[in-house]
Amino acid sequence: MVFFLTTLSRMILADLFRKGTKVTLPPSRPQPMVDRCACHEVTFADIQDWARHREETTLDDIRDHWECGRSCGMCRPYLRRMLQTGDVQIPLMIPSN
Ligand code: FES
């Protein structure tokens, strides 16, 4: 389906260019960012502030204290990235199979 739509879009654009039609591309969208554990409504900034006062923090520590990662688990890769980089806003990760 994606291939079909991409091919169709290219064909329409090529036709417009051939006819000399001026095409204005839409502005690029901002990259979606993740800044919290959605299940427990805890921001990564709050967790980072808490972790700053600790000698070492692991995913298990965060789960035990904040419950983050205990429910759906979708925040775990973001928490892992937060612990590695210190970033509290992390680009949306799309799982690949
Ligand atoms: S988003 Fe953190 S446990 Fe679901």
| For helices 44-52 and 76-85, angle between their N-to-C axes, nearest 10 degrees | 50
Ligand 1 and 69: CB distance under 6 A: yes
Domain boundaries, the chain: 33-91
Q: Of the residues 44, 74, 93, which should be mutated to test ligand 1's pocket, given the most ligand atoms within 8 Å of the CB?
A: 74
Decide if domain 33-91 falls under CATH 1.20.1740: no
Q: What is the pTM of this model?
A: 0.71
Spatial separation of the C-alpha atoms in residues 2 and 68, rounded to whole Å:
35
Phi, psi of 75 (to 5 degrees): -85, -10
Ligand 1 and 68: CB distance under 6 A: yes
Ligand 1 and 71: CB distance under 6 A: yes
Ligand 1 and 16: CB distance under 6 A: no
Give, for all 97 residues of the chain, the pLDDT tens digit. Answer: 555 556 666 666 566 667 777 767 677 888 999 999 999 999 999 999 999 999 999 999 999 999 999 999 999 999 999 999 999 999 999 877 6
